[in-house]
Amino acid sequence: MPQLLPGDRFELDNILPRDLSEGIIPLDPGLQSLFAHAGATVAFQSADTSVIPLRYDVQKNAFAGIDQNVGNSRLILECVSTNPLQFILKAASPLPRHADHLATPNGVQESRFAFSEGDRELLIDSSVTFARLREHEVSLMGTRLGMVAGFDDLLTLQVVRDVEPLEYQRKTVETVLRRFRGRALLADEVGLGKTIEACMVLLELVMRGLVRRVLILTPPSLVEQWQGELSRKFGLDFISFDAQEFREQGNAAWAQHDRILASFHTAKREPHRSAVIDREWDLVIIDEVHHFRNRTTQLWKLAAALKTKYMLMLTATPVQNNIEELHSLVTLIKPGLLHTAKAFHRHFTQRSDKLTPKNIDELHRLLSDVMIRNRRATTGIAFTRRIARTDTIDLTPAEREVYARVSTFVHEALRAGNALSRMSLITLQKELGSSTQAASATLRKLATEGHVDAKARKSLRELAALAGSTTAGAKLDRLVDLARQFPDQMLVFTQFRATQSAIVHRLEEEGTASVAFHGGLTRMEKEDAVRSFQQGTRIMVATDAGSEGRNLQFCNAVCNFDLPWNPMKIEQRIGRLSRIGQHRDVHVFNLVAADTLESAILHLLEAKIAMFELVVGEIDMILGTMDEDKQFEEIIADLWISSDSNAQFRNALDQLGERLLRAKEAYIAQRELDDRLFGETFGVKS
């Protein structure tokens, strides 16, 4: 593929008189990455041959500092050195025409020319033989310079935060960009970082000016996780479909934002669907794309209707029921690669066994042009064990009274549908399972809201007084005992700041060194807290929001002081330690009060799916197999609210547990099937 060479010259013809009067010269988007990230420098050569260094303005994507009157001259950007990368900008006479003059239908003369096969490689997915001269120059310039020698050097590696891509991840990104030209099925085994690979591809294309309009579709439960990863690790801010700003703009929001993150269950429904498929996207990423493998469903039809240049589809289990599901997925990325559905069925499907293809070598050869599947066995990645222990704690009589009375109030208020919002009441119930301090603050706040009726206000004030006068001791006592029993460093998680303060205060009273970490700290304060923990402080007490995106593998013990209702959030906590790079077994301590909602949820997860024995990422797959539009914690809340008694709630949880068990069995069967179908054929080569 042609590379940038000294003497290469590019005309800048998108300059307005206003720009020159302001002393700036704007660039085509394709050149942005060259000057923003590749370290190129440029100087202006005036008519008297003097050279004036110019400053590149990142915000305006323009050269600043032009103080010469260049008049109507053409401006030429010429490469004078590639090591280091240096350019000269100078006024020049018009460049000669390169080809025949062709008349357009309106009689205007324009230049067109045939380009070489080498140049055609740079025009990604080009299927034309002739192009307008200016179109070719812009494409060649943007691709040749922006792609930096055909993605030989990944710009992403210089800017990602809290991520150290492994060799197979770098190779995957390079393969997607070089060989697959940005359209790929990423089917790595669970826990190997498909999300990281997809985000690296995304950022690489953004940095090179090749992508602006991006749509990411995920299951509802993963929207928040994707948004956090993109922002913290890759510096990419996406608006989610459930953000207030997005909702206020209505259906027009789909056309007004360039980076959108949405649940695919939302995107498939009108009026959203029409807005999504009407827009032309530069890149679409679909996570857990196995939900799209049935071509008769709304999801598959949505994906097939999307207009996008680049597409990434992520799943650890491409096939579930029959081999033809693979054809459905691949057709979304590269239509025609696996021929028509009828031809695929005739050539690759066995009538007696739809899960075992015939002509498998040929099928593998075709798939190698679109699919990557890295496996732990070939990457050398091994996860250490998780050793879980759950301590069930009896609350003190005073704590038990607070829990019972507040829970009754919340349950009745939710069933009655009074003025208090569902979100506020559910949060209060979660705080109750964490500490009386956390619940007390919310009770006082709710009692002051203007729309609360007199009866509810009176109850809230009484409950706030009761909670405020109760010392939360049982769980704190157990945490202190645990700190004595486990002498190494420990990461303690809580969902609430009030609980965090109570934990830190109690540890200080016991003489145990601790440091708090939460989302309210400044960036420097966060760095100081992590540094303190790294340098030996016994315990870090962190909130869920504060800890996200932090790699803390130097520690190998995590304590869940309270339990989120969403098991994926529990997994994310453990994942701060139990991840690639951890070399010791990870101890997981769960503190849960007896006869509470949290104890019932934890029993469900341990008894039915042995949650703490799962590999990183497998809980996502199991919950995804349930194919629910709602998040798991919403399912739990609905079951609790609709139950007339504790016995009825336990029965509802048992039924949910059976669904979880079937989902786990289905996931295991899918995993074994995909291992048999694909083996180690599709891993990237070192």
H or E segment to which residue 99 belongs = none
Condensed to tens digits (0 to 9), the pLDDT of residues 650-677 reads: 999 999 999 999 988 888 888 888 888 8
Q: Lowest-pLDDT range, 30-39, 145-154, 446-455, 600-609?
A: 30-39
> Residue 546: its pLDDT value, please?
55
Does one domain contain both 451 and 370?
A: no
Question: How far is it, in rounded angstroms, from Cα 469 to Cα 466?
Answer: 5
Mean of pLDDT values over 195-206: 93
Question: How far is it, in rounded angstroms, from Cα 682 to Cα 686?
Answer: 12
Tell me which of 413, 435, 469 is where a domain ends.
Answer: 469
Overall size of the chain counted in residues: 686
Coil, strand or helix: which one is 366?
helix
Residue 685 lies in a domain: no
Residue 105 lies in a domain: no
Does one domain contain both 444 and 527?
A: no
Does one domain contain both 27 and 168?
A: no
Condensed to tens digits (0 to 9), the pLDDT of residues 126-172 reads: 444 444 444 444 444 444 444 444 567 788 887 787 778 889 999 99
Does one domain contain both 531 and 487?
A: yes
User: Residue type at 432?
Assistant: L
Tell me which of 433, 454, 469 is where a domain ends.
Answer: 469
Does one domain contain both 176 and 202?
A: yes
| Structural domain total, the chain | 5
Mean of pLDDT values over 568-581: 83
φ/ψ of residue 226, rounded to 5: -60, -45
User: Residue type at 601?
Assistant: I
Using CA atoms, how far residue 486 sits from 122, 501, 532, in Å, is 59, 22, 19
Residue 28 lies in a domain: yes
User: Residue type at 32?
Assistant: Q
Does one domain contain both 503 and 621?
A: yes
Does one domain contain both 450 and 496?
A: no
Question: How far is it, in rounded angstroms, from Cα 297 to Cα 211?
Answer: 29
> Residue 172: its pLDDT value, please?
95
Residue 663 lies in a domain: yes
Condensed to tens digits (0 to 9), the pLDDT of residues 583-639 reads: 899 999 999 999 999 999 999 998 888 888 887 778 877 887 776 677 888 999 999
Does one domain contain both 416 and 326?
A: no
CATH number at residue 523: 3.40.50.300
- For residue 274, how many other CB atoms are within 10 A of its CB? 12
Tell me which of 419, 436, 469 is where a domain ends.
Answer: 469
**323, two tokens:** 């081999």
Does one domain contain both 401 and 368?
A: no
Question: How far is it, in rounded angstroms, from Cα 367 to Cα 315?
Answer: 15
Does one domain contain both 214 and 363?
A: yes
Residue 101 lies in a domain: no
Question: How far is it, in rounded angstroms, from Cα 683 to Cα 678?
Answer: 10
Q: Indicate whether 123 pLDDT > 80.
A: no
Does one domain contain both 225 and 196?
A: yes
- pLDDT tier at 355, thresholds 50, 70, 90: confident
Peptide bond into 564 cis (omega under 30): no
Residue 667 lies in a domain: yes
Residue 110 lies in a domain: no
- Mean pLDDT score of the chain: 81
Beta-ladder partners of 111: 101
Residue 199 lies in a domain: yes
Closest alpha carbon to 389 in 557, 266, 197? 557
CATH number at residue 201: 3.40.50.10810
Answer yes or no: are the C-beta atoms of 619 and 571 closer than 8 Å. yes
> Residue 330: its pLDDT value, please?
94
Question: How far is it, in rounded angstroms, from Cα 360 to Cα 339?
Answer: 15
> Residue 135: its pLDDT value, please?
45
Domain that holds residue 26: 8-92
Does one domain contain both 310 and 232?
A: yes
